[in-house]
C-alpha cells in the first residue's frame, strides 16, 4: 500500500468519506487511491472555489469534515475565498493539497510556490512535510484538528499539503483515528455571575454552539424568567429555524441599524459570540458598536460548551422549562404587485418544503430569512465570511450531506458569477438544488455603499463598475450550458409557477428572477 492509499483508507475508516476534487498532475496518486477505495466518494468540480464552498456546506450540515483535493498553490488560491467563509463559520474541513516532492522544490519549477503561506491564511492547522510512512497518521491529526472547537476566528480548517513522494512511497499501514476533542466547560463562577447579572435590559448574544437548538431553548427560558432579549449575530453559519423553533432576533448588518437594535441594552452577555462591530469601517462611524453604558460579560468563547453553560444558567435561576418563545407558523401573504425581492421572499416562505436547506449569499436572498422563520422547519446556511460566491457551492455540499432534503440557493446575480461552475456539479450529481438568482443587473450593495459616501449622484465611470447590463447575463442560458434546466420569471405568477415546478421534481433547477 502506498502513502496515498493509506491516507484514503484511514480517512474512510475514521468516517471521512466525501472528497470535493479538482486534481492535477501532482495529485494523480491520490486519484489512484480514490479509485482503489470505493468508500471515499469523489465529486468533481470544474473550479476549486466550488470544491471548497461545497466542503463548507457539507461540513456545516454534517458537523464532520469533507475533504477537498486541490492542485498545488494555484488550486488552493482558487479555493481561498470560500475557505475564508468556512473559517469564519467554524466549519470542520480538511484540505488535501498536492505538492511536488520536497526534493523537487529547490528547482523552483513553474508550479512551485509557498503553499504554506497561502494555507495559513485560512487554516488553523497546516502540515507540509509528510512522508509516505507518516501520511496516514498526519491525516488523522488533520481530522482531529478539523474537529477541534474553533479558537477565536481560527476556524476548524486543517490543511495537509502532501508531497507527491509521500503518496507514491510505501506506507506504514492504515492509521487509527485520534481521540476526538471536546468543548471545554465554562467555569462555575462565570455561570453564577451571569445568572445574577441578567435582567430585563440584558441582551444574550448567540453564535456558534450558542445557536444549537438546546442552547436557544435555554436562552429563551432565561428570557421568560428575566425579560432579557435573545439575539444572534448578523451572519451565523447555520440556523435551524422555521415554525416551532426557539425564537431569536437577528442583529442587522449596517452599523446604524445595529446600534438602533442595541438601544436600551445595558448589559450584553456573549455566548460564543463576539461583541457587535461594524462589518466595514466608515469615516464617521465607530467600529465597535456596543453602547458606552453597556456592560459586556463573556459567558463563553467559541471553544467552550455554550449549550451546557446556558442550560446551567437557566437551571440555576430556575427558569421555567416550558412556554418559552418559539416561532409561530403562519402562511405569509404577498402585498403589493410586481416581482420584487420582498414578494419573492414571501413566495419562497409560502412554498418552502419541510426541512429545506437555504444557502444564502450576497444580493437579495437575505430578505427571505424573516418570512421563512414562520414557514415549515428549515435550515439556513449564511454567508458568514462575506466572501461572495458561496451559495451555489454550499448548496452542493448541503445536498450531498442531506440527500433527502431540498436545497435552495438564493444568489445575487453578481455573487452567482464568481462560482457559476457550481451548476455543472449540480447537474452531474443530479442534486435537488433550486437556485434562485435575484437578477437586478447590478452590484446593488456597492451602489448602496457608494451612496453612503455622501455622493448624491453616481458618476458614469463609477456607475459602470456596479452595472451588469452591458451585456445582460442570461442566467437561464448559462445554467443550460452546464446541464441545469431553468426558467426566467418576470412576474409573481411566473416565479411562483417556476418555484412549484422545481419543488415538485427531483434534480437541479434555476429560476432567474428578473427584477
Extract long-range pairs of 471-478: CB within 8 Å, 24+ residues apart: 472/441, 473/413, 473/417, 473/439, 473/441, 474/512, 475/413, 475/416, 475/437, 475/439, 475/510, 475/512, 476/510, 476/512, 478/420, 478/423
Q: How far is residue 454's CA from residue 431's CA, in Å, rounded to a whole number?
A: 45
Instruction: Map the footprint of a copy of itself across residues 211-240, applying CB under 8 A.
Output: 235
Q: In this chain, which of 63, 121, 192, 200 binds a copy of itself, going by CB under 8 A? A: 121
Question: Is 428 among the residues that bind a copy of itself (CB under 8 A)?
Answer: yes
The minimum distance between CB 392 and a copy of itself, in angstroms, equals 13
Instruction: Map the footprint of a copy of itself across residues 317-356, applying CB under 8 A.
Output: none
For 78, the grid coordinates are 482558487
Task: Name the residue nearer to a copy of itself (CB basis): 259 or 279.
Answer: 279
Question: Is 481 among the residues that bind a copy of itself (CB under 8 A)?
Answer: yes
Question: Is 483 among the residues that bind a copy of itself (CB under 8 A)?
Answer: yes
Choices 133-141, 244-252, 348-356, 475-483; region in contact with a copy of itself by CB under 8 A: 475-483
For 337, the grid coordinates are 404587485
Instruction: Map the footprint of a copy of itself across residues 250-279, applying CB under 8 A.
Output: 274, 277-279
Q: How far is CA 60 from CA 74, 399, 402, in A?
A: 25, 12, 11
Task: Name the residue nearer to a copy of itself (CB basis): 333 or 460.
Answer: 460
| Adjacency order of strands within the sheet including 41-44 | 41-44, 18-21, 66-71, 92-99, 156-163, 125-127
Cβ(231)–Cβ(206) below 8 Å: yes
The minimum distance between CB 393 and a copy of itself, in angstroms, equals 13
Instruction: Map the footprint of a copy of itself across residues 42-101, applying CB under 8 A.
Output: 42, 44, 46-47, 49, 73-75, 77-81, 83-85, 87-88, 100-101
Q: In this chain, which of 450, 487, 497, 507 binds a copy of itself, going by CB under 8 A? A: 450
Cβ(90)–Cβ(157) below 8 Å: no
**For residue 42, which phi and psi values (nearest 5 degrees)?**
-110, 130
The minimum distance between CB 468 and a copy of itself, in angstroms, equals 8
Q: How far is residue 381's CA from residue 405's CA, in Å, rounded to a whole number?
A: 14
Question: Is 149 among the residues that bind a copy of itself (CB under 8 A)?
Answer: no
Question: Is 505 among the residues that bind a copy of itself (CB under 8 A)?
Answer: no
Instruction: Map the footprint of a copy of itself across residues 281-300, applying CB under 8 A.
Output: 281, 283, 287-288
β-partners of residue 407 are 357, 433
Question: Is 200 among the residues that bind a copy of itself (CB under 8 A)?
Answer: no
Assign 192 to helix, strand or coil: helix
Task: Name the residue nearer to a copy of itself (CB basis): 28 or 224.
Answer: 28
Q: How far is residue 59's CA from residue 295's CA, in Å, rounded to a whole number?
A: 35
Q: In this chain, which of 166, 314, 387, 408 binds a copy of itself, going by CB under 8 A? A: 387
Question: Is 205 among the residues that bind a copy of itself (CB under 8 A)?
Answer: no
Q: In this chain, which of 15, 129, 152, 213 binds a copy of itself, going by CB under 8 A? A: 152
Choices 224-232, 295-303, 367-375, 413-421; region in contact with a copy of itself by CB under 8 A: 413-421
Question: Is 1 among the residues that bind a copy of itself (CB under 8 A)?
Answer: no
Task: Name the residue nearer to a copy of itself (CB basis): 265 or 387.
Answer: 387
Task: Name the residue nearer to a copy of itself (CB basis): 144 or 168.
Answer: 168
Question: Is 418 among the residues that bind a copy of itself (CB under 8 A)?
Answer: yes
Q: How far is residue 137's CA from residue 406's CA, in Å, rounded to a whole number?
A: 37
Compute how many residues bind a copy of itself; rule: CB under 8 A: 104
Task: Name the residue nearer to a copy of itself (CB basis): 179 or 283.
Answer: 283
Instruction: Map the footprint of a copy of itself across residues 167-186, applying CB under 8 A.
Output: 168
The minimum distance between CB 372 and a copy of itself, in angstroms, equals 22
The full length of the chain comes to 515
Q: In this chain, which of 386, 441, 487, 501 binds a copy of itself, going by CB under 8 A? A: 386
Instruction: Map the footprint of a copy of itself across residues 25-44, applying CB under 8 A.
Output: 25-26, 28-29, 31-32, 34-36, 38, 42, 44
Question: Is 456 among the residues that bind a copy of itself (CB under 8 A)?
Answer: no
Task: Name the residue nearer to a copy of itself (CB basis): 283 or 323.
Answer: 283
Question: Is 470 among the residues that bind a copy of itself (CB under 8 A)?
Answer: yes
Residue with grid cell 468516517, as numbered in its chain: 15
Task: Name the residue nearer to a copy of itself (CB basis): 24 or 353.
Answer: 24
Question: Count of CB atoms within 10 A of residue 453's CB?
Answer: 11
Cβ(415)–Cβ(470) below 8 Å: no
DSSP 392-460: HHHHHHHHHH-TTS-EEEEEEHHHHHHTTTHHHHHHHHT--EEEEEEE-SB-HHHHHHHHTTT-SS--H
Task: Name the residue nearer to a copy of itself (CB basis): 70 or 346.
Answer: 70
Q: How far is CA 238 from the centre of its chain?
A: 7
Q: How far is CA 122 from the centre of its chain?
A: 14
Amino acid at each position: 500500500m502506498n502513502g496515498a492509499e493509506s491516507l484514503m483508507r484511514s480517512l474512510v475508516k475514521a468516517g471521512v468519506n466525501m472528497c470535493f476534487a479538482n486534481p492535477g498532475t501532482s495529485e494523480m496518486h491520490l486519484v489512484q487511491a480514490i479509485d482503489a477505495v470505493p468508500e471515499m466518494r469523489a465529486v468533481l468540480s470544474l473550479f476549486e472555489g466550488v470544491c471548497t464552498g461545497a466542503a463548507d456546506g457539507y461540513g456545516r450540515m454534517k458537523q464532520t469534515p469533507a475533504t477537498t483535493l486541490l492542485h498545488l498553490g494555484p488550486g488552493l488560491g482558487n479555493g481561498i475565498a470560500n475557505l475564508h467563509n468556512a473559517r469564519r463559520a467554524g466549519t470542520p474541513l480538511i484540505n488535501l493539497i498536492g505538492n511536488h516532492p520536497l526534493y523537487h522544490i529547490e528547482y523552483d519549477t513553474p508550479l512551485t510556490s509557498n503553499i504554506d503561506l497561502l494555507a495559513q491564511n485560512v487554516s488553523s492547522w497546516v502540515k507540509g512535510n509528510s512522508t509516505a510512512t507518516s501520511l496516514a497518521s498526519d491525516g488523522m491529526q488533520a481530522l482531529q484538528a478539523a474537529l477541534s472547537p474553533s479558537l477565536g476566528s481560527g476556524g476548524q480548517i486543517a490543511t495537509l499539503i502532501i508531497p507527491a513522494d509521500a503518496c507514491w512511497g510505501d506506507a506504514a499501514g492504515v492509521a487509527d483515528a485520534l481521540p476526538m476533542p471536546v468543548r471545554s466547560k465554562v467555569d462555575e463562577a462565570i455561570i453564577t455571575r451571569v445568572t445574577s447579572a441578567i435582567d430585563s435590559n440584558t441582551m444574550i448574544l448567540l453564535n456558534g454552539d450558542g445557536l444549537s437548538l438546546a442552547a436557544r431553548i435555554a436562552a429563551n427560558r432565561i428570557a421568560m424568567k428575566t425579560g432579557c432579549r435573545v439575539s444572534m449575530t448578523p451572519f451565523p453559519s447555520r440556523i435551524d429555524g422555521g415554525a416551532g423553533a426557539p425564537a431569536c432576533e437577528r442583529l442587522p448588518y449596517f452599523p446604524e441599524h445595529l446600534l438602533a437594535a442595541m438601544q436600551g441594552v445595558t448589559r450584553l452577555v456573549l455566548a460564543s459570540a463576539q461583541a457587535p462591530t461594524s462589518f466595514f469601517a466608515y469615516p464617521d462611524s465607530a467600529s465597535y458598536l456596543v453602547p458606552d453604558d453597556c456592560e459586556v460579560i463573556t459567558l463563553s468563547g467559541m471553544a467552550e460548551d455554550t449549550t451546557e453553560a446556558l442550560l446551567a444558567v437557566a437551571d440555576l435561576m430556575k427558569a421555567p422549562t416550558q412556554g418559552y418563545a418559539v416561532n409561530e407558523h403562519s402562511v405569509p401573504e404577498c402585498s403589493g404587485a410586481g416581482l420584487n425581492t420582498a414578494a419573492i421572499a414571501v413566495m419562497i416562505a409560502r412554498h418552502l418544503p419541510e426541512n429545506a436547506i437555504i444557502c444564502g449569499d450576497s444580493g437579495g436572498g437575505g430578505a427571505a430569512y424573516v418570512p421563512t422563520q414562520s414557514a415549515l422547519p428549515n435550515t439556513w446556511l449564511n454567508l458568514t465570511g462575506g466572501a461572495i460566491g458561496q451559495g451555489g457551492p454550499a448548496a452542493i455540499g448541503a445536498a450531498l450531506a442531506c440527500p433527502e432534503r431540498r436545497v435552495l440557493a438564493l444568489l445575487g446575480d453578481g455573487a452567482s458569477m464568481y462560482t457559476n461552475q457550481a451548476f455543472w456539479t449540480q447537474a452531474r450529481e443530479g442534486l435537488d438544488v433550486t437556485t434562485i438568482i435575484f437578477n437586478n443587473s447590478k452590484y446593488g450593495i456597492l451602489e448602496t455603499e457608494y451612496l453612503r459616501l455622501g455622493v448624491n449622484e453616481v458618476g458614469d465611470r463609477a456607475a459602470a463598475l456596479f452595472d451588469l447590463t452591458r451585456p445582460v447575463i442570461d442566467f437561464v442560458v448559462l445554467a443550460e450550458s452546464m446541464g441545469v434546466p431553468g426558467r426566467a420569471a418576470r412576474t409573481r405568477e411566473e416565479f411562483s409557477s417556476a418555484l412549484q415546478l422545481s419543488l415538485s421534481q427531483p434534480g437541479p433547477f434555476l429560476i432567474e428572477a428578473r427584477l
